A and B are shown apart, each in its own frame.
Chain A
């Protein structure tokens, strides 16, 4: 198969395992491209992409922008803070105005769950979800799985624990879908208040003891505590959180194996993980960042193949 089964990338939920394989295979080629002296290919020189970020983002936005530039696409950037959204313009009007400028692909981050899904049904462009509320962040999950596959050879049958603020994380949900689809065993671990109800229905188990979770796993995917999304206190103090769920060198050294450490960033150093863990050789955090560009190039390239001129 050399074509995606979906018209938009709205979430991992809509993908098949063959789609993930195709994205990874294409990303392998782009990873080679971005390590060349000249890191650019002309494939998308007739494509225009709008990056619509209705919510703050640094690394995802930079990663998408770089991926688009590496493919030679024309890009326009839109931030809600400096836009007509502040004046009361609706999402569809904003998108349609941008589309009138002959845009082919929209990469959108939005604080509301389902915003990308809504847009895909109402405007004529390819939509890539760059994170919608606490729902999905498909390209992050893809690059996480890709990084695991790169480090361990496969995702199938690997034991992966997602640690931390599961409740407010879009990375967690997309990761659960992606990892389960590829045959991994998945656990979530965090304070009871930050584990969503009925999460077991997604085929994952819950572990409240960090030590037990780390003893069990091959990979620990540590999530950021999303203070900006918390309207109430979910745990007594940051200090207590880091004592119970923070990963430090001492706890890693107490394990009888070397597990892989991941983090989607940005890291709250000393809260979720300590600096010596973030910078340890078993951490693949910077590989995740590098792989992010290749994965996003692959997704954009594959969706652009479906655009008929």
Chain B
């Protein structure tokens, strides 16, 4: 197994600030916008972005939710290991709001398809955007593309991209792992 560092902590820091600025350009004070982290790994990124928006750019009261998509996946019973659900926490109204989905890696697009179905259970948003830290180009199974991208990478299918966050994994880093 080989492990290559794609992004280090400093690069992630710069990218997160750039993504936060791009969000501000489009959503201004976030009055009509809500941020939804896709469980499990998108939530870390969403929390980090909201923290930057609040602490570095003084945008208070950004609404942050967590959406679990387990029950909406199309690979139920097609996986070797059974799916385990995470927590969904959306304690605000999304009807008529601009929703920004946040996920760490965009690969096949199936998770986002499931998220698009899942969010309908909470009402009809005005529109939905997608922000990802890593966009694995050329590996999409569905016609889904991000609106905000941290870094685009071209990796072959048997390679895996993993994102580590200092809250969980001691340091921020993105690796490409070849099994």
User: 1/0 contact trace for B78-90 toward A, CB 8 Å?
Assistant: 1001111101100
Q: A26-B85, A29-B68 are in contact. Are A36 and B121 (CB under 8 A)?
A: yes
The stretch from B4-12, B48-56, B69-77 touching chain A is B69-77
B88–A32 touching, CB < 8 Å? yes
A37–B123 touching, CB < 8 Å? yes
CB neighbors of A among B68-125 (8 A): 68, 70-72, 76-78, 81-85, 87-88, 117-118, 120-123
CB of A41 closer than 8 Å to a CB of B: yes
Q: A3-B82, A29-B85 are in contact. Are A37 and B117 (CB under 8 A)?
A: no
A305–B83 touching, CB < 8 Å? yes
A309–B82 touching, CB < 8 Å? no
* A residues in contact with B71, CB < 8 Å: 29, 33, 41-43, 301
> How far, in whole Å, are A37 and B68 apart by their CA atoms in the complex?
16
Q: A2-B84, A29-B85 are in contact. Are A37 and B121 (CB under 8 A)?
A: yes
Q: A37-B121, A38-B120 are in contact. Are A43 and B76 (CB under 8 A)?
A: yes
* A residues in contact with B87, CB < 8 Å: 29, 32
B72–A304 touching, CB < 8 Å? no
* B residues in contact with A2, CB < 8 Å: 81-84
* A residues in contact with B72, CB < 8 Å: 41-43
Q: A3-B82, A41-B72, A42-B72 are in contact. Are A304 and B77 (CB under 8 A)?
A: yes
* A residues in contact with B117, CB < 8 Å: 42
* A residues in contact with B85, CB < 8 Å: 26, 29
> How far, in whole Å, are A159 and B7 apart by their CA atoms in the complex?
56
> How far, in whole Å, are A40 and B71 apart by their CA atoms in the complex?
10
What count of chain A residues pass the 8 Å CB interface test?
21
CB neighbors of B among A5-29 (8 A): 26, 29
Q: Interface residues of A: mostly helix, strand, loop or mixed?
A: loop
* A residues in contact with B123, CB < 8 Å: 37
CB of A307 closer than 8 Å to a CB of B: yes
CB of A308 closer than 8 Å to a CB of B: yes
B78–A38 touching, CB < 8 Å? no
* B residues in contact with A41, CB < 8 Å: 71-72, 118, 121
The minimal Cβ–Cβ distance linking B74 to chain A, given in whole angstroms, is 9
* A residues in contact with B78, CB < 8 Å: 309
The minimal Cβ–Cβ distance linking B110 to chain A, given in whole angstroms, is 13
The minimal Cβ–Cβ distance linking B112 to chain A, given in whole angstroms, is 16
* B residues in contact with A36, CB < 8 Å: 121-122
A40–B84 touching, CB < 8 Å? no
The minimal Cβ–Cβ distance linking A79 to chain B, given in whole angstroms, is 30
User: 1/0 contact trace for A39-76 toward B, CB 8 Å?
Assistant: 11111100000000000000000000000000000000
Q: A3-B82, A29-B87, A305-B82 are in contact. Are A38 and B77 (CB under 8 A)?
A: no
Which of A37, A39, A308 is in CB contact (< 8 Å) with B77? A308
B121–A38 touching, CB < 8 Å? yes
* B residues in contact with A304, CB < 8 Å: 76-77
The minimal Cβ–Cβ distance linking B149 to chain A, given in whole angstroms, is 29
> How far, in whole Å, are A90 and B123 apart by their CA atoms in the complex?
48
Q: A38-B120, A42-B71, A304-B77 are in contact. Are A29 and B88 (CB under 8 A)?
A: yes
**Most chain A CB atoms below 10 A, which of B70, B71, B82, B122:** B71
Nearest opposing residue in chain B for A28, CB measure: B87
> How far, in whole Å, are A183 and B12 apart by their CA atoms in the complex?
48
Q: A2-B82, A29-B87 are in contact. Are A309 and B77 (CB under 8 A)?
A: yes
The minimal Cβ–Cβ distance linking B73 to chain A, given in whole angstroms, is 8
* B residues in contact with A32, CB < 8 Å: 87-88
B122–A37 touching, CB < 8 Å? yes
* B residues in contact with A38, CB < 8 Å: 120-122
Can you give 5 A-B contacts (C-beta < 8 A)?
Answer: A42-B71, A43-B72, A44-B76, A304-B76, A309-B78
A-B complex: 8 closest residue pairs judged by Cβ atoms: A41-B71, A38-B121, A2-B84, A29-B85, A43-B71, A2-B82, A305-B82, A3-B82
B interface residues, Cβ below 8 angstroms from A? 68, 70-72, 76-78, 81-85, 87-88, 117-118, 120-123
A interface residues, Cβ below 8 angstroms from B? 2-3, 26, 29, 32-33, 36-44, 301, 304-305, 307-309
Given contacts A33-B71, A41-B121, A43-B76, 10 further A-B contacts (CB under 8 A): A29-B70, A32-B87, A36-B122, A38-B122, A39-B121, A41-B71, A41-B72, A42-B72, A43-B71, A44-B76
